[in-house]
């Protein structure tokens, strides 16, 4: 094995998978040695030998599945699976926003055991996140097969989490082999050894479940947005997570529904630009009812233009949305300037205002997936205007933000325009804090009974969620 490992180390260096210089790691650390094992997919024989050597680290093959940490380890796990005839499963980077919306792909059952395959561990966070997702599906994990341990705390972190690490190389061993082969000189090796001795990697784990088990009053203290804090408190006080979508074209229909539903909802959501008989008096009536029954008003405008235009749309025109809407929705497609435009439109307004960023949509074939979804969250989450995100899944970990989920009815269904409906229990288990219900109430013969039923079912689902340990 010693001779084989030395040959592998030299080959990895020669193909550019190991580099000496000045680099930044995934966790943000400066490092004199950088290892990029993605290139081995272009060297099939090397890929096969590394995979075989890694699999031979396990004496007893007491596991049902092989699971590679996305993405670099996936081809390695695939080779191990095909050569050993042990089924492979894949843990996705994020849940799909369509189809089954599964986090773990493959055929398995609760109680099965999986072995994790990873290319490099620095802090071990990627492996721990993968293990947590597998455990959430009832799988058991106790071993991780790793090509390189950077010796910066990752192995200890994993062992603290109950995961035994078996690695082909440590950094010390790797640079030792490279020095023996004349690829690195003594000074370079000393620099690397001094570095790994003095610099440890912080463990950064995305604990999405943490947000889900905290109650609204606790989360009200964590938010940067005053409107979100108000919403958290009123949801707790009124014991309702119901956002009623009053998608009527006549102002009186909205007023009548607000009077009926007001005591039982957290938010009344409207589309002001579809109202045929809009006037200022309608807004005054609606604000009065909102004050009386303690709910917030959301204008579902989905602002999405450049900042300057959005500022005008928000503050000017016949609707003057900034003056009366507690909450609005915004598409982040135009970049961070859209929030700057919203902020500019609030000049001179002292009332609390909040923005929900549309990260995912409930309609079939929506393009709000992948990198768009990830950027929507990362680019918006730190703004003091952001109350939360419109999404279908648990895609953020900040307990001070609110997940607003549309497309909900008591039974799963679709309409003839591509809208997909999920049940209250489904969406709350996937992170929904505030839930939009429209036609399930507005088309009911007895609207008050429908409001009360949705309110009850949604609140029970929320209480069930926060009681989970």
Catalytic residue among 36, 256, 305, 379: 305
Q: Is residue 439 marked as binding? A: yes
Told to judge if 300 belongs to the known catalytic residues of this protein, a careful annotator would answer yes
Q: Is residue 362 marked as binding? A: yes
Q: Is residue 269 marked as binding? A: yes
Told to judge if 379 belongs to the known catalytic residues of this protein, a careful annotator would answer no
What is the C-alpha separation between 17 and 10, in angstroms, rounded? 10
Catalytic residue among 193, 302, 343, 447: 302
Catalytic residue among 300, 326, 398, 433: 300
Told to judge if 36 belongs to the known catalytic residues of this protein, a careful annotator would answer no
Q: Is residue 247 marked as binding? A: yes
Residue numbering of the annotated binding site for substrate: 247, 269, 362, 419, 438-439
Active-site positions? 300, 302, 305
Which residues line the annotated binding site? 247, 269, 362, 419, 438-439
């Amino acid at each position: 094995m010693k001779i084989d490992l030395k040959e592998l180390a030299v080959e990895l260096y020669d193909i550019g998978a190991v580099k000496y210089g000045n680099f930044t790691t995934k966790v943000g650390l400066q490092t004199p040695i950088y290892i990029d094992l993605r290139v081995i997919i272009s060297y099939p024989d090397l890929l096969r030998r590394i995979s075989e050597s890694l699999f031979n680290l396990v004496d007893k093959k007491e596991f049902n599945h092989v699971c590679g940490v996305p993405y670099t380890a996936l081809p390695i796990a695939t080779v191990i699976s095909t050569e050993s005839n042990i089924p492979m499963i894949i843990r996705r980077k994020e849940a799909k926003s369509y189809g089954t919306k599964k986090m773990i792909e493959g055929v398995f059952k609760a109680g099965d055991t999986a072995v994790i395959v990873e290319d490099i561990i620095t802090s071990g966070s990627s492996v721990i996140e993968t293990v947590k997702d597998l455990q959430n599906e009832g799988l058991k994990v106790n071993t991780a097969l790793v090509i390189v341990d950077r010796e910066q705390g990752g192995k200890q972190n994993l062992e603290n989490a109950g995961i035994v690490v078996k690695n082909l190389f440590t950094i010390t061993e790797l640079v030792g082999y490279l020095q023996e082969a004349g690829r690195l000189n003594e000074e370079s090796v000393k620099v690397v050894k001094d570095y790994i001795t003095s610099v440890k990697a912080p463990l950064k784990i995305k604990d999405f479940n943490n947000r889900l088990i905290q109650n609204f009053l606790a989360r009200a203290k964590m938010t940067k947005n005053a409107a979100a804090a108000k919403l958290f408190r009123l949801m707790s006080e009124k014991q309702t997570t119901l956002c009623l979508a009053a998608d009527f074209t006549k102002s009186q229909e909205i007023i009548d529904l607000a009077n009926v539903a007001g005591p039982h909802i957290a938010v009344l959501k409207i589309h002001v630009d579809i109202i045929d008989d809009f006037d200022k008096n309608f807004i005054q009536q609606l604000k009065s009812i909102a004050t009386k029954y303690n709910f917030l008003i959301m204008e579902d405008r989905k602002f999405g233009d450049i900042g300057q235009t959005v500022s005008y749309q928000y503050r000017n025109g016949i609707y003057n949305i900034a003056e009366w809407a507690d909450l609005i929705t915004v598409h982040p497609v135009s970049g961070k300037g859209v929030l700057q435009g919203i902020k500019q439109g609030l000049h001179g307004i002292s009332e609390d205002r909040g923005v929900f960023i549309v990260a995912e949509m409930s309609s079939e074939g929506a393009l709000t997936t992948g990198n768009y979804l990830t950027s929507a969250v990362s680019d918006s989450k730190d703004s003091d205007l952001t109350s939360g995100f419109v999404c279908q899944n648990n895609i953020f970990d900040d307990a001070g933000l609110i997940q607003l989920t549309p497309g909900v009815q008591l039974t799963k269904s679709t309409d003839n325009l591509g809208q997909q409906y999920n049940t209250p229990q489904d969406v709350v288990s996937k992170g929904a804090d505030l839930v939009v219900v429209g036609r399930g109430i507005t088309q009911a013969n007895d609207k008050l009974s429908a409001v009360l039923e949705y309110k009850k079912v949604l609140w029970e689902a929320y209480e069930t969620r926060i009681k989970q340990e």
